[in-house]
Each structure stands twice: as C-alpha cells, then as structure tokens.
Chain A
Amino acid sequence: EPEVTQTPSHQVTQMGQEVILRCVPISNHLYFYWYRQILGQKVEFLVSFYNNEISEKSEIFDDQFSVERPDGSNFTLKIRSTKLEDSAMYFCASSEGGAGTDTQYFGPGTRLTVL
C-alpha cells in the first residue's frame, strides 16, 4: 500500500540554524500539507501546497518557514532560523484531490528538537 514517507525521523539542531524536513508524498497525490504537533498539544495546520504554490497557510507559517517541491517526488519544509519553540513533531500529509473531497494521509513524522 502506498504511503507517505518522511526523513529524517529525528533532527536535532542548534537554535538559529536552518533545517530542511523532507517528505515523499504518495505518487499520484496532488495536494500536500505540513502540520506540526508540539508535545502534548493538538495537531496544527501549517501550510497546504498545490500546483507548485501555497494554497493556504496558517499564522504559524511566518517568514521563517518555506515549502518547496524541488523535483517530482519530494516536498520539503524549511525553517530558516530555528527557535526553541519550533521543537515539535512535523507531519507531512498528501491527498489525491482537493476541494475537501479527499482524505489526507500522513507520514510518520519528523521529530525536531531545537537546543
């Protein structure tokens, strides 16, 4: 069964450093998403991406964040200058269609620890 994959599973970085989290969505999916979950809290939407551009972003997704689909398979989330409060689990998700018609399937997550 096709699945969303994410690398790395755990990333430790120093405050102020740049990190790139990588995702490979399910191959025939067209819509891509990033969510984050701070430990013990609810899952929060960050950004959605379709047709090589951002469809929607949350207030959390400020200028420190960017997303990219550098090739036909990868979908990346970059945090330019990490802060302590960026420590969280980051989930990538993908769906086949849009307009609320398709289920989002999640990757296993990347745990980001900012020291």
Chain B
Amino acid sequence: AQTVTQSQPEMSVQEAETVTLSCTYDTSESNYYLFWYKQPPSRQMILVIRQEAYKQQNATENRFSVNFQKAAKSFSLKISDSQLGDTAMYFCAFMEYGNKLVFGAGTILRVKS
C-alpha cells in the first residue's frame, strides 16, 4: 500500500521569508500524481499545486514551487515570500490508478508577522 510521510508536524516562518515543507512517499508504481493541499482554519481543502511523476520539470504556481525527486521519492513544497494568509495545515497527497488520494499526516505552518 502507498504511504505518504510528512516528517514535520509544525513549522514557523517569518512573513516574507521562504519555507520548505517535506514529504516522502512510497510506491512501486512509475506513473502517479502528487499534490499539495492547504487546509486553513476554516478546514476547507484547497489545492495548492500538483506534479505528474512523468514530468521532470518541477511544478510552480506563483509563490509555490515543488522539488520533485522521483528516485528519492521526495516531494517538497517551497513557499516564497510567505504571507500571513499562508498559515494553514498543509497536506501532501499521492494518487495513482483508481483515483484514490492517499494523504500524509500534515504539517501545520504558522507565518509570523
């Protein structure tokens, strides 16, 4: 079974600084998809960014970018120019055939002013 591990339960960052959230996963598949979802205090699940495993280029979405290391099965999220509104729980998620998302335990990110 696929597993997703987020080793950082909590992180803090100063406003305008850069922070990186870690995620590793385990799979025997070669084709799959990886996602970062953000869950603010409202508990809504908001898609931040996605990465297809067959693409070598790292995905970027404005201030959010990933470092995808397929061989190492690592998928970290970098948030640049952190803003107070980035304060949330961040979940890394894995998806292969069958469309079931497998989530990590989450990392609480606090952006401080």
| A interface list, Cβ under 8 A from B | 31, 33, 35, 37, 41-45, 48, 55-56, 58, 89, 91, 93, 95, 98-100, 102-106, 108-109, 111
| B interface list, Cβ under 8 A from A | 31-33, 35, 37, 42-47, 50, 91, 93, 95-106
Structural contact, B100 and A56, CB atoms closer than 8 A: yes
Distance, CA A58 to CA B100, complexed state (A): 10
Structural contact, A108 and B97, CB atoms closer than 8 A: no
* Complex contacts, B97 vs chain A, CB 8 Å: 99-100
Instruction: Select from chain B the residue with minimum beta-carbon distance to A48.
Output: B99
* Complex contacts, A42 vs chain B, CB 8 Å: 91, 103-106
Structural contact, A44 and B42, CB atoms closer than 8 A: no
B49 to chain A, nearest CB (A): 10
* Complex contacts, A48 vs chain B, CB 8 Å: 98-100
Given contacts A91-B45, A100-B31, A109-B44, contact A43 B99 (CB under 8 A): no
Distance, CA A89 to CA B39, complexed state (A): 12
